[in-house]
Structure 1
Amino acid sequence: MSERGSSWSVSLVDALIRVGLDEEPETLIAALDWAIHSGSLDEIDVQRVFLGFPKSMSWMNDWVDGACESLPESIARTRLRLAGYDVSIQVPLGPQRIDMVINGTVALEVDGKEFHAETFEKDHLKAIDITIAGFHAMAVSANMVFANWGHFFRALELAVASHAPPSFGNSGNPAPGRSSAQQPRGRRRPWRGSS
């Protein structure tokens, strides 16, 4: 069997190229996040994957992040970025980490498991710690990411809008010191098409 596979299988790199050509960006990015996080691909392999795509897809390379710890977390992150939000993942909070922080104001935990009694108190204490740190605490289940995204997304839009830093000072001019993370983002980036 060669590095590229055999007559009945293909290499992971070739499989990911096919995913990128056939599926939506969130699927490819999630697959690459997993492959890096699990140690199945290294940076050279990722570059080999992107060499199999048209240049119009190269922007996705910057969105792949092996620090992402789950499929629903990766999909949520990509959807939020495509919607124009600034998203940071695995943000330190004392000895803990927040799954993602959106526009510097909303701290989102993505729960990939069903309710477990042994983590109930810990999860609620973390939500309180997030609020004490100055974020709006939100949580979304894996099932909501896959099956009820619109409902969650509406709540997130409201949370971000109600916790956004003021955009204008007393003079009516943009407030000084507004970070680029707080600036409005563009629309969904194109990804299909020829180079």
Structure 2
Amino acid sequence: MGKNVDTVAQRTDDTYSRTVFTRSDLVRTGMTGRLIAESVERGDLVHVRRDRYALASTHRDIVRAVRIGGRVSCLSLLVLLGVFVFRCRELHVLVTPGSSRLRVTKDVKAVLHWKVLTSVRDSLHAAPLIDAVAHSVLCQAPREALATLDSVVHHGLLTLDELATMFAALPLRFRPLLVLVDPSADSGPETFMRLMLRTMGVAYETQVYLDGVGYVDFVVDGWLIIECDSKEFHEGWEKQVQDRGRDLAAARLGYVTVRPLAKDILNDQASVRRALEQIIAVLGPRFSDVRRSRLSTVAR
């Protein structure tokens, strides 16, 4: 497991910081019409659309959402925050009901969201977080949506109580997802693996601490460690050395460690499941025999 250089909290603060302004906003800072025009000409400001100006550093997706006539939301916004999203191929935009003069061009594949849970408009460029998360539930398959929800709560962006309030405003068919949310999931692949283990019917624990090893993602049936490696968090020889040392330390304690790749967990679940089932079928009885032998020795 590892962490981004910029934490999700930092990225959230950066994303929601004010980077889009109305002309009146700029005038209140002391700028005149001439100064505004000069700033646009220099490239310090971008004239996005009528009465909307953005700092030159504003993210491209935010600028495109504002140009359309709304605010970035759903999967597009969550990606900017560093929340896990399985896939985001379109630009997701929250458009306030009653909006007019929308500018949706052929070169931008956009998904427009009209439903809002809150009327708060603290930002001209980004939807309220609770709206973005609600939209992400509507736009993804259940497994993918749950991974996003795990990530949102894990990073402290919303609480379970706030999620419950959000689900109360969504159609009833989505309610079963709420009871499956697990804040301990450190990544999307961990959520996918947890759901896979549930369907396999094996006993498992998440985020287990082992002396000399540290925290591991999963311990299955008391002997099999599953670590959900991903390229993002496990590049570089130094990290490989650390992981191999952890695996050796776990082996000394009697554990077997497997490290399926994140891309396989996310995209080839059937193969990963077959491999795990075969490992458990072959090695499971041996570890059961060892445990029974230890127990009988202690009984004597």
| TM superposition score normalised by structure 1 | 0.70
* Cross-structure match for 2:5: none
Paired AA for residue 245 in structure 2: L
Q: Distance in 2 between matches of 1:85 and 1:53?
A: 32
Q: Is 1:50–2:167 an aligned residue pair? A: yes
Whether contact under 8 Å (1:5, 1:11) holds in the other structure is: yes
Q: Distance in 2 between matches of 1:118 and 1:97?
A: 18
Within the candidate set 204, 208, 227, 1:87 is matched to: 204
Paired AA for residue 135 in structure 1: Y
SS at match of 2:156: coil
SS at match of 2:191: helix
Q: Is 1:120–2:230 an aligned residue pair? A: no
Paired AA for residue 139 in structure 1: R
Q: Distance in 1 between matches of 2:238 and 2:119?
A: 44
Q: Distance in 2 between matches of 1:64 and 1:104?
A: 23
Aligned length: 169
Whether contact under 8 Å (2:206, 2:218) holds in the other structure is: yes
> What is the CA-CA distance between 1:157 and the residue it aligns to?
0.7
Whether contact under 8 Å (1:73, 1:110) holds in the other structure is: yes
Paired AA for residue 18 in structure 1: H
CA deviation string 1:16-63 (max 9, x = no partner): 333334432221211111111211101221211332345554443332
Deviates more, 1:104-113 or 1:47-56: 47-56
- The 5-angstrom pairing of residues 26-41 of structure 1 reads 26-41=143-158
Q: Distance in 2 between matches of 1:108 and 1:8?
A: 41
Paired AA for residue 254 in structure 2: G
Query: Structure 1 residues 4 and 69 mapped into 2: Cα distance closer, same or farther (>3 Å)?
Result: farther
Q: Is 1:104–2:219 an aligned residue pair? A: no
Over the aligned positions, Cα root-mean-square deviation in angstroms equals: 3.2
Query: Structure 1 residues 98 and 53 mapped into 2: Cα distance closer, same or farther (>3 Å)?
Result: same
Higher radius of gyration, 1 or 2: 2
Paired AA for residue 129 in structure 2: L
* Cross-structure match for 2:181: 64
Paired AA for residue 128 in structure 1: L
| TM superposition score normalised by structure 2 | 0.48
Query: Structure 1 residues 130 and 32 mapped into 2: Cα distance closer, same or farther (>3 Å)?
Result: same
> What is the CA-CA distance between 1:143 and the residue it aligns to?
1.7
* Cross-structure match for 2:265: 145
Query: Structure 1 residues 58 and 101 mapped into 2: Cα distance closer, same or farther (>3 Å)?
Result: farther
Deviates more, 1:59-68 or 1:122-131: 59-68
Identical aligned residues as a percent: 25
Whether contact under 8 Å (2:196, 2:273) holds in the other structure is: no
> Gaps spanning 5+ residues in structure 2: where?
1-95, 97-116, 287-291, 293-300
> Gaps spanning 5+ residues in structure 1: where?
167-174, 176-195
Q: Distance in 2 between matches of 1:34 and 1:63?
A: 13
CA deviation string 1:37-93 (max 9, x = no partner): 211101221211332345554443332122211122222222332343443211111
Q: Distance in 1 between matches of 2:276 and 2:165?
A: 36
Whether contact under 8 Å (2:118, 2:131) holds in the other structure is: no
Q: Distance in 2 between matches of 1:73 and 1:33?
A: 10
Query: Structure 1 residues 50 and 30 mapped into 2: Cα distance closer, same or farther (>3 Å)?
Result: same
